[in-house]
Amino acid sequence: MAFYYPEPSRTFSEYLLIPGYTSEECRPDNVSLKTPLVKFKKGEEPSLSLNIPLVSAVMQSVSNDSMAVSLAKEGGVAFVYCSQTIENQAAMVAKAKSYKAGFVVSDSTLRPEYTLADVLSILNKTGHSTMPVTEDGNPNGKLVGIVTSRDYRVSRMQKDVKVSEFMTPADQLITAPKSTTLKQANDIIWEHKLNALPIVDDNGCLVSFVFRKDYSSHKDNPRELLDPDKRYTVGAGINTLDYEERVPALVEAGADVLCIDSSEGYTVWQKRTIEFIRGKYGESVKVGAGNVVDKEGFLFLAEAGADFVKVGIGGGSICITREQKGIGRGQATSLIEVAAARDEYFEKTGVYIPICSDGGIVLDYHMTLALAMGADFLMLGRYFARFDESPTKKLNINGTYVKEYWGEGSNRARNWQRYDVGGDDDLSFEEGVDSYVVYAGTLQDNVAKSLYIVKSTMCNCGVMSIPQLQDEAKITMVSATSIVEGGYHDVTLRSTNTTV
């Protein structure tokens, strides 16, 4: 006879936090959100930690190199999606890793015969106004000039005028040799009042740029997450099929941490993937695994050697796994059980394995609840897909700005590797949908607001760190009537449409 759980599985909206004593010192500015990203032994510090408990999902519509840079600036980590060629994914990782080093490879390179129309098209696509001009249009081709917004006026020029006619030619540019250090490059920028300094090799070929705006980046982003070489920390997704080729390429590109991207992690395929990584790299390459929803799944991946474990099946806003397959579990119930298993494993072995809550976060207060229930950090897809920094298009639908957002199990993504169970290499049915999310602006502004709410709630609970929240939080289940009571009720809302 099948085993039946005596209690229903529950979601975050079915719980509330009970306030605790708030001392004078317990203010949002004093709250620390630092949290471990990978496993560590009792009495030791983890080799990788997050400054904020947020990572972005391994999804085409969420995590590319731009998201990796933007999220690392805020103190989190993006996992660059793996449903693309190994070469393309490795290039994204390498690009993100090179960004913080100060030497930026251009993604907006022109050829001399390009036109102003091409310049405007690239500007609209990348948002980058400084564009090098090389003989062959290659980012590392022979530099012949540069185009910036100061070189043209759209209202006074024809769109078919060639780049060679209005660019600033190379012989009028201040450049620096390939051997230039970042400090030397910044000194040249300040001495000559430049916005950008091209770095060229002995043959006059463009190597990279150093930008004035990056000089003050650390002051503007005090929580930024850096590796020992002062580069941004970057994650990358892998699957359980081509890992023998993909993992070495990602490690070579500089990925700091890997994550097996799969809808279900309690499988022999994940164990084999981790065993390959441990056999080839030992403990030097960090890899998370999942997803699981119970104690048995967590212990399986812990014993397999996972550096962190993702929790959650079917709770994502674009995920229809529960509808299609009838498998999964309420996110809150899953997290509570796995957190207890994590703590029990720590007491038994002295090894702390962080858990990541993946899915089910709809409102900002769900973040705090997930952390209180034991999550060390949260993986978010829909949340990050709404921002400027996600790789999808911003569209105007019926007067509302939206961004495209689709699941890895949708026909659009066709990421059948994520749902591999040892069968044919095809997506037999969908486990995700293709959708829109309402556009929300910049990542920095929204993350700052969300985390202020988290910190403020933690202060209401009388705690000043995530471990303290997990130890001291008091959580109550609420009835359906209580949920209704928690929102506005018995009133008529006034119109909030105002002109600013």
Q: Catalytic site residues?
A: 319, 418
**Distance, C-alpha 74 to centroid of its chain:** 10
Nearest Cα to Cα of residue 448 among 223, 214, 219: 223
Q: Please state the length of the chain.
A: 500
Bridge partners, 236 (sequence order): 80, 258
Q: What percent helix, strand, coil does the chain show, rounded to 5?
A: 35, 20, 45
Nearest Cα to Cα of residue 372 among 442, 463, 481, 278: 463
Q: Which two tokens stand for residue 31?
A: 């709250």
Nearest Cα to Cα of residue 288 among 276, 272, 270: 270
Buried b or exposed e, range 270-283, using 16+ CB within 10 angstroms: bbebbeebeeeeee
Nearest Cα to Cα of residue 186 among 176, 200, 173: 176
Helix axes 243-253, 86-100, angle to 10 degrees: 20
Helix (H, G, I), strand (E, B) or coil at 251: helix
As a whole number of angstroms, the distance between CA 185 and CA 314 comes to 49
Q: Which two tokens stand for residue 269?
A: 């395929």
Helix (H, G, I), strand (E, B) or coil at 134: strand
Asked if 436 contacts 397 with a C-beta cutoff of 8 angstroms, the reply is yes
Residue type, 97: K
As a whole number of angstroms, the distance between CA 418 and CA 240 comes to 8
| Residues 378, 404, 364: CA angle, nearest 5 degrees | 30
* Residue carrying structure tokens 């962080």: 354
As a whole number of angstroms, the distance between CA 430 and CA 407 comes to 9
Nearest Cα to Cα of residue 167 among 100, 228, 115: 115
Asked if 338 contacts 374 with a C-beta cutoff of 8 angstroms, the reply is yes
Phi, psi of 160 (to 5 degrees): -95, 5
Nearest Cα to Cα of residue 32 among 409, 337, 455: 455
291 cis-preceded (ω within 30 degrees of 0): yes
